[in-house]
Structure 1
């Protein structure tokens, strides 16, 4: 009887997560002044975007950054992410947050398709946002509910089957194709987007189209190493990169970023982290050593108390930028040195407006650099590489005027056509590592795909010293969706962090 009661309780909790169409923090925003029984597409959009970015940024800070040697949460305790050791409870937060907002994005699409509220622009944006969130889900967990997810309210499907990652990706591509077609032909005068409903592009439909196609490019590259879809991906990458039918993010100002204004709901979730907790992790040696070696302008040594040039607000240690080793053996606890500065009374990453990163111009250029280096597209790989490296810096320092070729040569990071493909990949992905700073879990995904940049391996790493390949499914899924859970692991492999997802497998 206790087991039955427990299972019912968990089901109720899950339904509470997956059913809502509106978010409690946006009650006022989602209240229709005309007393409509449900929110409009414009009212659903901003809350969903804010809540996805909130989850992304918090897990970027305490999960991605620890795995990818941006920070080290110094401790000898068990369950430390920087040692490739994390508990199953880490899985719940993102899984719940992403599926909850998929309900909002799907409602946005449905309502925007109804005769009285027909707005194809919002339908297209919904398709892009669904594709973005589903890609995060499948890249984090592997096979996940997709085709029949979020249907508990409308179709009473409370135990959705898990779908194969390959099929998820192929359907995401269909969604992005449809979104591009809609936004290429929609009458923006008849079907405009409200600027105040869109905290990313302020209702600029052309920029949403560029973001959707840039996301398409990212995801095509992600699965391009799978032989069964490789040529299909390469052909599409070439089409997107070389025709006008798929406009891409073409300058820094078109980057997909939700900027935290500090007003209303647009307050950075990092402001909710206690100051002492925010500055508790030390900066990892890998992250800081490259920047100091390159004399990178994002961490120019400041005059203490007037650190206007230290764009990432990293605190010096004894007058220098110094990190701590990641993956160290318990018992060899290092002294914390540099860290991300925090105070609510001065500028820092807690209050920084552009930490709501989704996809930037720098990332697009570095994707194209990889495609060109592999001979998939025309264009010079070195040009794309230089553009990406420059954009990564100018995203944070718009007035930086140093010639990028001079900068890269001084840093011994300049391009050479004589390099092997692996050497070129290391160059590209080392720059991409910094371009993806603060962008959800993309550093982790790209490392799993490519093995670049090469990270030092501490002697204290768990999981046989191998970068974790996924998060495990939330524990409650084993009881609330037991049949489909067992089917999923029978196909994908054991529900452990070392089981590779489809696009990682040979």
Structure 2
């Protein structure tokens, strides 16, 4: 009996103590000297670095082999033969969605802080990353995505690509408006922006803050044009009308990149923190030990006498730049010739997201197709020149008059478009999946098909959904597959139909 009384007394005392401990627990255990959430600039810095770095590794692993920048010399690696195994899908899907959670937090925290600038930045970041997802896979979770916490949506529905694009364009429209709201930032905050912050003069915080927001407006509107061009042939979203507004009738409302220095590039700092390339810690063999640059890539640069080959490619043993054929037959692995220069492993400009030269080629195509009244030749030639000077190289004398480069007014629209897109292809050097997206949209550049290419000789139109998604979100996965017409590499996404 005495033992029972002692136990009951102990339990009652414990309950009282717990009640006392729970009283005002949140307030007592909150550090008054810290903010209760991560600052937007900290999230921006980490997210940009992670997304660009992971995109770099996929450009090396997938895009450059699919698009004949290089060719593997490992016979069992068949991406250049258009054989893409389902496991390739997991890395991109997982990393992009993880960073989208950070972007959403960036936006939400900026909203709590009543910070319109970083809200606009959050919208641009979300549009950029989601465009990569939907252009790679097609229909993807969007409206219910990254809502595991606090909404507890663990099996999000897949949204149709047309609806995703409609909202991405709206986000970029809203970002351009929001970023016009005045807000003064400290030099410390601006310096955390890995794309534009360290190039903005913050001697006067008001002027510096204006330039900071303007830099992001220019990036957002240049990205706006990229996405508008991708869907301009589809009438549902009135993309052509918006292109005309940005490029011609409302130019002052939609500032865009005006030179190479304004390009969106995560400029790597060699091997030093905080912005070291993902390749900085690779062994040279891991970077280029089992691949050689392709004949298409090298021969085109040779035909043009393009100086970029001097910073991109090693000469072969014959003291010349030479490539190897892509899509070679199994068992007939060619000997490597020119390879990537190992200096690219720490090259600052490999962190390219969207540059001024690409923008000029977008405008050249839009003018060629009559979307606005600009001169396509002017934009094209500006793109050619700036694609070279972007790499701190000098444009060779007479470069614009060379065969294959010269803008010939008597050529057909298709021939002119091929020139634009082929030049654009080289501006995408190590830039995520853009050259593949553009090939699917336009059919250019004209890539040779080797004897070992499978899949009926057809360039894959998308990547399949990751295997874990098929299992863990099966109901919505099956709905998406039915809506798209299947889950294989030849199913075309909405804008590609």
Q: Normalising by the residue count of structure 2, what TM-score does the alignment of the two structures yield?
A: 0.88
**Correspondences of 1:257-296 after superposition (within 5 Å):** 257-261=265-269, 262-280=271-289, 281-296=291-306
Quick one: distance in 2 between partners of 1:216 and 1:395? 21
Partner of 1:389: 384
Cα 1:315–1:341, aligned 2, differ >3 Å: closer, same or farther? Answer: farther
Quick one: distance in 2 between partners of 1:274 and 1:180? 42
Quick one: distance in 1 between partners of 2:457 and 2:187? 52
Cα 1:68–1:210, aligned 2, differ >3 Å: closer, same or farther? Answer: same
Tell me the alpha carbon deviations over residues 263-297 of structure 1, each in whole angstroms, 9 at most, x when there is no partner: 32311001232211212210000000011111111
Matched, 1:476 2:468: yes
**Correspondences of 1:427-466 after superposition (within 5 Å):** 427-466=419-458
Structure 1 residue 211: deviation in Å?
0.5
Judge conservation of contact 1:314–1:339 (CA < 8 Å) in 2.
yes
Matched, 1:126 2:122: yes
Partner of 1:492: 484
**Correspondences of 1:97-136 after superposition (within 5 Å):** 97-114=95-112, 117-136=113-132
The structure 1 residue matched to 2:161, chosen from 154, 160, 165, is 165
Structure 1 residue 188: deviation in Å?
3.2
Worse-superposed segment, 356-365 or 68-77: 68-77
Judge conservation of contact 1:193–1:205 (CA < 8 Å) in 2.
no
Matched, 1:197 2:192: yes
Structure 1 residue 464: deviation in Å?
0.8
Q: Normalising by the residue count of structure 1, what TM-score does the alignment of the two structures yield?
A: 0.86
SS in 2 for 1:72: strand
Quick one: distance in 1 between partners of 2:354 and 2:374? 22
Judge conservation of contact 2:385–2:395 (CA < 8 Å) in 1.
no
Quick one: distance in 1 between partners of 2:85 and 2:49? 27
Matched, 1:248 2:243: no
Structure 1 residue 409: deviation in Å?
1.5
**Correspondences of 1:136-147 after superposition (within 5 Å):** 136-147=132-143
Quick one: distance in 2 between partners of 1:191 and 1:121? 13
Tell me the alpha carbon deviations over residues 335-392 of structure 1, each in whole angstroms, 9 at most, x when there is no partner: 11110132xxxxx100101111100000000000001111111121100000000010
Tell me the alpha carbon deviations over residues 52-104 of structure 1, each in whole angstroms, 9 at most, x when there is no partner: 00111100111000000000011321x52111112111000010000000001
Give structure 1 regions of 4+ aligned residues with deviation exceeding 3 angstroms.
32-37, 190-193
The structure 1 residue matched to 2:375, chosen from 364, 368, 380, is 380
Structure 1 residue 313: deviation in Å?
4.3
Partner of 2:94: 96
Quick one: distance in 1 between partners of 2:362 and 2:285? 37
Structure 1 residue 465: deviation in Å?
0.6
Tell me the alpha carbon deviations over residues 230-253 of structure 1, each in whole angstroms, 9 at most, x when there is no partner: xx1111100000121111111000
Judge conservation of contact 1:53–1:356 (CA < 8 Å) in 2.
yes
User: Would you say how many aligned residue pairs link Structure 1 and Structure 2?
Assistant: 450
**Correspondences of 1:17-56 after superposition (within 5 Å):** 34-56=33-55
Stretches of structure 2 that go unaligned for 5 or more consecutive residues are 1-30, 201-211
Worse-superposed segment, 255-264 or 352-361: 255-264
Quick one: distance in 2 between partners of 1:372 and 1:401? 24
Quick one: distance in 1 between partners of 2:382 and 2:158? 40
Structure 1 residue 192: deviation in Å?
8.1
Partner of 2:205: none
Structure 1 residue 193: deviation in Å?
8.0
Structure 1 residue 316: deviation in Å?
2.9
**Correspondences of 1:274-353 after superposition (within 5 Å):** 274-280=283-289, 281-299=291-309, 310-342=310-342, 348-353=343-348
Stretches of structure 1 that go unaligned for 5 or more consecutive residues are 1-31, 300-309, 343-347
Quick one: distance in 2 between partners of 1:236 and 1:483? 37
Cα RMSD of the aligned pairs, angstroms, is: 1.6
